[in-house]
Structure 1
Amino acid sequence: MSPIAETYSDLYSALSNLREHLHLAGRIDDSNAKLDEVSKILAICIAVNRGWIKADEFEALINSSQHDHRATEVLQKTFSACAKEKPFLNSDGSSIFGAFPKLNIQDNDNEFALLLSRTLYATFSRALSHARSGCSFDLINEAFGHFVRDNFRGNIEDAQYMTPPEVVDFICEWALAEIKRHDENFLDREFIVMDPSCGVGSFLASFYRKLSSLSEKAEKNVKLIGQDKVDRMVRLSKINMMLFGSEIYDIDQGNSLFNCGRLNRFNGKVDLILTNPPFGANISSAQITDEPAANYPLLGNASDISSSIDSELAFIDRELALLRDGGKLFIVVPDSTVSSRGLAETLRVRLMGKARLKGVVELPSVTFAQAGTRTKTSILYIEKRLDKSPDDLLAMAIIEDLGFQVSMRKGVAVKKYEGTNELSVLSKSLFNWPGGKGVVSENPSCIIECADDVEQKSWTASHYSAKRLRATASINAIRETEVKQLQEIVNFETKSRRRLKAEPGSKCISVLHVIGDGVINFNELMSYNPKTKGNVCFPGDILISKINPRIPRVIVVPDLGFPTTCSNEFEILSVKEGIDPYWVSYILLNKLVQDQIQSLTSGTSSSHNRIKTSELKIVEVPVPKTESKKIDMSKVVSTYRDSINSMILSSFNIYKMRQRQA
């Protein structure tokens, strides 16, 4: 186990012990209050480490048994001194810990005071050690996850899905690499970094830590601006910044989308935004239109489009307004932002009038599993630019492993470190890419494409996978064949078939009825009563499942002696003149074709992946172009057709035999 993984493992055990102790003793029932106590002890640790307060008794309490019998008294005394220090005061002079700062520990509860202080001080010390060695360890993030994550799940607008440090570090390193690539002297001027939905401040803390290790100018010329709707998050953000020695932050409580004069002052001035905003909440378009027009350059007239706007789309628009020309936005968004139609597509189109897409990194569904959701997400890198060039390039990458899985332990979702952090692998190749189009990495997949080609098509990173490029290159290399798109050899019939009325006695073929190469499970088919009517299909039609294509399901509809329909998950294809449906079925299950199909899917999770009709149409297939090659293929297809029909007939006969026995 790596040192960082070992530290996380120890932290999980320590925080679980604290939770168990609090539960058994009936102390501090509210999860938010538990986290508050943790943050207060961390504040003491910071103040002691930085020499802000004289704390001989506290240090003796941590390192020996000298004051065990008066642990509560020592802890209360130390915190009282700590809370008065300037770093823990708001701009109006009040304490970030409230009007009357005090530890919520009962008098003489020395056992709990010892457990709390020694556990957190030991973890704090290890976190500092990792920070000095350049490793990331997000102590505040993990503490939040153990104590209060569930409290926020019920309120989607305040949802706090803390970004894993693996993702935070990659984004900050990517941002730093891009900034240095284009402006090596950026620290010679004021440089504004912002997170308008900062949560516990992970992005700001990580970026500052990386930047300050490169230059002493960071402390002088960088401004770190943070804001969050929840005041507890603001307090935790400030403590997080202090953990890593930063004193240049400006973090405050407020709604970054509406009625925020504080952020309005930064319109057109921000150099870099690093953020993971709340997503899935519905924002009234009326609220958007009530804001100054400069705040929402893309969706300011959203009332003409929709009555409500997803919060992630509103944040992208607001953040675009905050950026200066040339400013960069790195944002974590749900899959719908890059793949859905409707308002998301409208935003993408309008965004390209004022900015340039520079990169998309698709993340695995486990990314936010510790936070309670397996929604698929992507990292978007957008640069605000009016001057564009046809030579502009962007990166499209797919991450399948972050080096951890998530499991439940004593009611808490915790990481189990296994596998490889592919973001770390990707950073070594992507950040050092010399330039030009090409395959940066095959595993994990990352390619560099022309921005113009991507912006006008799909923003889904998997559609540009190295596997798909390999497949199309291999197809083009096959001798005596010509490459055609699927739409050139078949007709897409699904839309027209929806208007046909099913005949009485029709049986509906579901995707779950198709087994292997074109075989039907007749037991399931004959007893299936769909809740919604299917689309009419005829013998000789080709059905290909559009849902979850990683399990290939393709079949030529056989003549079963009764009329058939198929479920809406199928695309219905009919062959063009001179094309054999069994050849199409055979070629659709070819590995090179399947690699393309599986790369062209999109969806919120692995079990809900789907390929759109428009994407299926452009799948490339090798078509024999010489007579000898066609003859060779006809023999293969004839054998394939006879084998499939034989299996279907045998399967149907066995079904009828079983029915007669019943």
Structure 2
Amino acid sequence: MTPIPQLVERLIQMNGGSSASAAKQLGTTPASLSRYKTASARPRANIETRLRALVEGGGDLVDQAYELGGSPRLHRLEQAISETLNGLREEFHRNGSVSTRQEVLDLVAALVFAHVSALDNGKAGLGRHLLKGSKSAVEAINAAMRSAFSEWLPSKGGHGEEQKRFFSPLKKSDETFADALLGIFERDGAAFAELHQAGRDDLINEVFSRFMATSFVDEKEMGQYLTPPEVTRFMVELGFKALDQDGRRALLDVNHSCGENVVVDPSCGVGSFLAEAVRFLHEHVRVEGFRSSSEWLESFVSQQVVGIDKSERMLRLARINLGLFGVRMSQLYLANSLARDGVDSRVTLPMEGKARLILTNPPFGASYSGEEMQAFSIAKSRKRIDSELLFLERYVDWACAGGVIVSIVPDSILVNKGVFNDLRIWIRDRCDVLGVISLPSVTFAAAGTTTKTSVLILRKRKPGDKPANTFFGEAKEIGYDVVTRSGQRRRVRHAKDDLPALLRAWGTKEPKPYAQQKPLPKRAERWDANFHLTGTEAEGEEGGGLLVSQLASLVDVRKDPKRLNTATFKYIEIGDIDSRTGLVGSKSMPVSEAPSRARKIVRAGDILVSTVRPERGTVGVVPDELDGAICSTGFAVLRAKGIHPVALAWLLKGEEVRRQMARHNIGIAYPAIAEETCLILKLPIDKMQIEALSVSAREFSAALTAFEDSRQRLISLLADPAKEAPKLHRSMKTKSRRQ
């Protein structure tokens, strides 16, 4: 067992060397953490358990387990199961013959399924009790696995994988490894049995789902990123809230388990959304007592849960995932959800108008072409189209009247023009946009992407429905950051999580800084939450403040540097502006190496505003020595009129104006605004303040210039003291005589 001081040291390293962050994650004080590190004190049992889970268990499993009903017993059992799963994973990495993360996950999933299924059917599960007579550990595990998959694997859905695809028999050379596996189940197997006896197979599935989520760190398959458990649970609860009363009751009452009352994930992956929906609804059934929760579970999972995926491996894991609920049948299909003809259409076409609730995170980034996509309304007369656009049209087709769609979408769906706007119009003609919730860029960072995404909630309109308001929310924090250690991205949890507050705000009329309900115009150009939460700029002066257009004009004088009669030119790019001081620098560049974006000629006093990631406040004023230089087309160039340019530049760098800029961002990887947007920004001043601001700006500019001159002299002196010191001495004597 790893000593406490070593664990503390590793936890601090996981938090970028910050003891304060490590203490916060552990739920203790920096002083206590220091004592644990020096072994002058030992943490309490619960703190030690958490420490070991964070450092040795990947930092995700025990920390995230539900404490339903505040039951210490349930939490203790969940911890034990988490330890079993992590123990299995470590044993595979230490002694197993498998080498890839995918193989480890597949084998752990198969073993857990066999163990839990045996318990569900009155048997003892895996353990050393299987070593009867002369039977070896390898023989015992292979026999138990054959029995489990032939007897208990959910078989409905027309998938028909062979048993060997779920488990490859161990070899004789794996005897030591097999014995260790049986020992792990022997040690912790009682927790599985105790939860099963308590009727809480859903909690076994909960911990297993989290284990899968952490096992997929840094992996991507078929364009899919595994949705973090925090976001999955958030979306399931949102979907339930978004249904009307009849829709919610239909999912909780097995008498409605037919027709259009299905829960669907068209890109189900390992079944995370489906399993979370089962757990969430199962708890409601238990609490509200519609009827036997076990009867509901059997009926719901086998008849009302539908998952579809193109990846056979993902679907195998989904079958195991849902199989852990102890249900013998499941409707999981190996198919392309976008198919409209061929074999796959036997699955997809009957789904139209049947989905009560669609929960999903579709593949992004792929593009489709060919005749088949012409069957989609949004794709007509187009040669190629992005997959996420087609998926959204398919979701609307599959939803029943009153059905709800909750989907992760890239923000391009919400803000881009062209075909994206066409899709938004098509959706509004059929659905109410019930909500748009912005997610932070860290959401999928553990999987290797910082693509800006949001949760989109739609409800397919029923005849006679009145238009619904739209809930706009922004989650800046979702309970974790992502750090890179030893080349691997890992999630590090912290206490800041905006998702619970957003759930509480759903349906309330009181506006909050992070959430607001308001009408979305039918032909709104943008749907993103950041745009609608900030409000709109007032026209003219009546609303207070001045528009930038009243104090500056937008200039765009261009020239190709290669047409200059010089060998080099001064080039200003975004990185040449100090965002703290607003000072503008440049680099001398041969005209032959001029980039295509080096085009705009600037004059002294021009204000340069970065249109790329404008919320960072990269704004500066062109100094006299750069008059006639050329800047990047990534700048909007403003020429002040009636106000000192430095005063206007610092107004543009203010937080209030930067928030306005962020509202107009378009794009995912490199959010940017149109140059013309700068003119409609509202400044928090009136005309009476302009003169005072300009006077202060002149004083500030002079002081900044003097500071920069002094800094350059110091740099020169340090570079060549013998040459520069006499110059500095003469300058100081002259200044002294003047005084």
Normalised-by-shorter TM-score class: 0.7 to 0.9
Higher alpha-carbon deviation: 141-150 or 308-317: 141-150
Query: Residues of 2 paired with 1:552 and 1:323: CA distance?
Result: 43
Asked if 1:105 corresponds to 2:170, the answer is: yes
> AA paired with 2:140?
V
What is the CA-CA distance between 1:319 and the residue it aligns to? Answer: 1.3
Partner of 1:547: 612
Q: Deviations over 1:377-426 (max 9, x none)?
A: 21111222377989631122222222123345676544322232321232
String of CA shifts for 1:342-392, please: whole Å, max 9, x gaps: 433332233222223221222222222232323222111122237798963
**Aligned-pair distance for 1:571?**
1.0
Partner of 2:17: none
Q: Tell me, what secondary structure is at the counterpart of 2:454?
A: strand
Q: Equivalent residues in 2 for 1:539-578 (5 A)? A: 539-560=604-625, 562-576=627-641, 578=642
Which residue in 1 is equivalent to 2:212? 143
TM-superposed CA distance for 1:594, in Å, is 3.0
Q: Does 1:83 align with 2:155?
A: no
2:352 corresponds to which letter in structure 1? N
Q: 1:234 aligns with which of 315, 320, 324?
A: 315
Deviations 1:251-301 (A, max 9, x none): 111111123221211212222110011111121153301xxx4xx2333x0
Moved more, 101-110 or 399-408: 101-110
Match of 1:613 among 636, 655, 675: 675
Conserved in 2, the CA contact under 8 Å of 1:28 and 1:34?
Answer: yes
CA RMSD of aligned residues (A): 4.2
**Correspondence for 2:22:** none
Q: Does 1:211 align with 2:281?
A: yes
Mapping for residues 573-592 of structure 1, pairs under 5 Å: 573-576=638-641, 578-592=642-656
Does the C-alpha gap of structure 1 residues 396 and 369 become closer, same or farther in structure 2, counting only changes over 3 Å?
same
Amino acid corresponding to residue 267 of structure 1 in structure 2 = E
Q: Matched residue of 2:262: which SS?
A: strand
Which residue, 328, 338, 354 being the options, matches 1:269?
A: 354
SS at match of 2:451: coil
> Which residue of structure 2 aligns with residue 251 of structure 1?
332
CA gap of 1:518–1:142, structure 2 versus 1, over 3 A, is same
- List alignment gaps of at least 5 residues for structure 1: none
State the TM-score, normalizing by the size of structure 1.
Answer: 0.81
Name the aligned partner's letter for residue 578 of structure 2: I
CA–CA distance in structure 2, aligned partners of residues 117 and 374 of structure 1? 41
The secondary structure found in structure 2 opposite 1:214 is: helix
Please give the secondary structure, in 1, of the residue aligned with 2:172. Answer: coil
Cα distance in 2 for residues equivalent to 1:102 and 1:330:
34
Structure 1 partner of 2:228 = 164
Q: For 1:37 and 1:625, locate their aligned partners in 2 and report how far apart those are by CA, in whole Å.
A: 71
| Bigger mean CA deviation after superposition, 643-652 or 212-221 | 643-652
Task: Give, in angstroms, the shift of residue 17 of structure 1.
Answer: 6.1
**Pairing 1:152-191 to 2, within 5 Å after superposition:** 152-153=220-221, 158-180=222-244, 183=247, 185-187=249-251, 189=256, 190=258, 191=261
The equivalences for 1:305-316 within 5 A come to 305=382, 307-316=383-392
8 Å contact from structure 1 (residues 556, 582) kept in 2: yes
Q: What is the match of residue 40 of structure 1?
A: 110
**C-alpha separation in 2, matches of 1:311 and 1:114:** 47
How far apart are the structure 2 equivalents of 1:451 and 1:130?
A: 45
Provide the residue aligned with 1:439 in structure 2: 511
Q: Is the alpha carbon distance of 1:424 and 1:343 closer, same or farther for their aligned partners in structure 2, counting shifts above 3 Å?
A: same
Q: How do residues 397-476 of structure 1 correspond to structure 2 at under 5 angstroms?
A: 397-407=473-483, 413-430=489-506, 433-435=507-509, 438-440=510-512, 442=513, 445-452=514-521, 456-465=524-533, 468=534
1-side partners of 2:133 and 2:677: how far apart?
70
Aligned to 1:508: 571
The 1:656/1:311 distance shift into structure 2, 3 A limit, reads: same
Q: Deviations over 1:546-571 (max 9, x none)?
A: 22334322223233275211112211
Residue identity over aligned pairs, in percent, reads: 24
Tell me the SS of whatever aligns to 1:277.
Answer: coil
Q: Is 1:359 the equivalent of 2:419?
A: no
Give the equivalent residue in structure 1 for 2:62. 7
Aligned residues between the structures: 622
Go from structure 1 to structure 2 and tell me whether the alpha carbon gap of 1:508 and 1:120 turns closer, same or farther (over 3 Å shift): farther
Structure 2 alignment gaps of length 5 or more: 1-25, 28-49, 54-59, 65-78, 725-739
Residue 372 of structure 2: aligned partner: 287
Secondary structure, counterpart of 2:163 in structure 1: coil
Distance 1:175 1:359, change over 3 A: same
Q: Are 1:492 and 2:554 an aligned pair?
A: yes
Pairing 1:194–2:264 present: yes
Residues 329, 72 of structure 1: alpha-carbon distance in 2 compared, 3 angstrom cutoff: same
More deviation, 355-364/342-351: 342-351
Is the partner of 2:633 in helix, strand or coil?
Answer: coil
1:517-556 maps to which residues of 2 (within 5 A)? 519-520=582-583, 522=585, 524-526=586-588, 530-532=594-596, 533-556=598-621
| Equivalent of residue 461 in structure 2, options 372, 385, 389 | 385
**What SS does the corresponding residue of 1:265 show, helix, strand or coil?**
helix
The alpha-carbon deviation at position 472 of structure 1 amounts to 7.5
1:344 and 1:560 map into 2 onto residues whose CA distance is 45
Match of 2:74 in 1: none
Larger Rg: 2
On the 8 A contact 2:154/2:327 being kept in 1, the answer is: no
Q: What are the superposed Cα offsets for residues 634-657 of structure 1, whole Å, 9 maximum, x if unpaired?
A: 433443454455556767888999
| Structure 1 residues 460 and 114, CA gap change in structure 2 (3 angstroms) | farther
Q: 1:76 to 1:659 in 2, by over 3 A?
A: closer
Change (3 A) 1:482 1:655: farther
Q: Is the 8 A contact 1:136 1:169 kept in 2?
A: no
Q: Retained in 1: the 8 A contact 2:98–2:104?
A: yes
- Deviation at residue 625 of structure 1 after TM alignment: 4.1
Is residue 545–residue 569 contact of structure 1 (8 Å, CA) maintained in 2? Answer: yes
Output one character per residue of 1:294-340: Cα deviation in whole Å (capped at 9) or x when no partner.
xx2333x0xx23x2222211111111111123221111122332233
Query: CA 1:26/1:162 → structure 2, altered by over 3 Å: closer, same or farther?
Result: same
Instruction: Give the 3-state SS of the residue equivalent to 2:441 in structure 1.
Output: coil
Give the C-alpha shift of residue 75 in structure 1. Answer: 1.9
1:334 to 399, 403, 410: 410
Match of 2:658 in 1: 594
SS for the counterpart of 1:571 is strand
Query: Retained in 2: the 8 A contact 1:297–1:321?
Result: no
In the alignment, the residues of structure 2 paired with residue 108 and residue 26 of structure 1 have an alpha-carbon distance, to the nearest angstrom, of 10
- Go from structure 1 to structure 2 and tell me whether the alpha carbon gap of 1:481 and 1:456 turns closer, same or farther (over 3 Å shift): closer
Moved more, 364-373 or 222-231: 364-373
Q: How does 1:27-66 map to 2 (within 5 A)?
A: 27-29=97-99, 31-51=101-121, 55-56=123-124, 58-59=126-127, 61=129
1:36-59 Cα distance to aligned partner (Å, 9 max, x none): 3222212212212311xx534735
* Alpha-carbon distance in 1 for matches of 2:205, 2:548: 47
